[in-house]
Structure 1
Amino acid sequence: MLVDKILGRYDERYFGNGHKQTTYSDIFDFKEDEAGYLGYIALTQKLGWSKKKNIALTPHLSSLDGIILAIGIVEKYLEIVNSPHPIASLFNDSFEIKAGATPIEDLTHIPIRLKTISEDQNRYLAKVTILGMKISLSLTAYDTTPSSLNSVGSINYTANHLKNSTHDLVNIDLLSEKYAICDVVREVIHDASYQGLASDHSHTISILEWLIIVSQFAQVMAYNFDDIDRCDSDTLWMRTIKAKIKKPFQDVTPIMLMGEIVKSTSLKRGADEWRILELQGGTIDEDVMFSGNIAHKIPKERGDNR
């Protein structure tokens, strides 16, 4: 089974084509203060962010946006302090993100704060906040051979590389309400020359790409658990997400992915019924591991029979 058969058309889903329509400004008004480093950024979203039942949904700052912005402010800081490691050699090998209580819908002047950053040998650990969103990052320096750094026409890797590849889930097997497996097929649709943080690793699968893959997989599992379609799910909220990559590795598709719902609870908020699911999984060789906590509103006509 293909992911579009379960979640709907690629061009109507954020983790399909929607995220490719986002552009990010450079960080502006960047300064150091008593609480760390503060800057601002603006997002521009073209049409086609996400649709359900042919109705366009209101764009908000996604978990993917949050990680991209967090990497961006770390990159800005390392450029200013002259990092002893070439920033192009740094590889984002883990993150943890905790969503705020309310969505961030004003995308024109988003405050982003680098609260702490520390160096341990060849690794940086950073903590970033974006209003109520909290993000932790780990970036490791590798010995690399620069291939595109500072080449003519090169573009920022973090902000742009996701536009140049697709991430499909195929052979989806819903083994039960709690277990699923699938194959991941990644295709580069446009070759580009990159610069900036992690650009020496542009031939590998980034942790941002894995966030797109895992987010789709989590949606498939959540909707299967409650036996509903994406179009009937009023809201899906990724409350926490953690991911880790052991080391950079090149794309050898298909890659088998496994997932498990380890806990489910129901929550009443007024007249609304919410399902909260804890998931975990990874690639079959455990090179990539993930876990998360997501919630979605159960349609009133569906009720809760679990």
Structure 2
Amino acid sequence: MTKQNLGGKLNGSQTARRMLRRVMPARFRPLAQSAYLKLGPATSRWRMEPSFLVIGGQRCGTTTIFKKLAEHPQVIRPPAEKGTDYYTLYYDHGFDWYRGHFPLTASSQMRGRGNGKAVAFEACTYYMFHPFAIERIAHDFPNIKLVAMLRDPVERAYSAYKHELARGFETEPNFMKALELEDDRLDGEIERIAADPAYESHAHRHQAYRRRGQYVEQLERVLEHFPRTQLHVMESESFFADPAREYANLLEFLQLEINLPKTFEQFNARPGNQMPRAAHEYLTHHYQQYDERLSDVIGRRPSWTR
């Protein structure tokens, strides 16, 4: 199958970017970012490649993980965005376009002095759920490390629904109705994604509330292309209960120095009304079989079932 059809302390560059954001008028920032991304592909050969990827899941605490990793003295985040969405939405743009998002290799050499080798990464919560992203990643980076953060799928589904509703990507005001619509909305979408790498499925990306919580299916797909030793699975409940321990375990997996931040804030939390009881009961029953299989894959009972 061809590639086309494959399914802590701020460093100098971070400080400069923050200063630039403060002094640059907001209306000019999109133009500056656009210019940066146009320059990126032309300099791709001199840019770093990611050493690891945070692949998901959506509404599971990945923003907190991303921000803490970006503060680590050995880690260099993508200059422009949290993630590129290359392996999901922009695969047709080509590998040079992807490499163009990462820091110059010179940044790695400067950053790594005194701290060992510096590494780059990105975070995209759609990578784990997208039907072809993992295969595409394996094609380009067979030795890369992957990080997945999971969360009680019942709570995740409702959180995702509220998130998409607030952003305007969901128009159905009734959560249970949105769950009932899910199968029809997703019908044929994977086939359309397979047929056209440039196709962006609104329903698959924004309205798969129930299916995104069927983690075992997604992790089994990961393990079809990567050995278990290259996958680190975290759980939101365990992380926020003891963030120092869980974060230290993550750093050990990534072979980075154990450099713990003073605080672990929770980002992108969306408070709101309580989930309707009928929807909670429906989802709890639905996920039971998937959570049982998940235990076999991750080697422990998920924290939300204990």
Q: TM-score, normalised by structure 1?
A: 0.26
TM-score (norm 2): 0.26
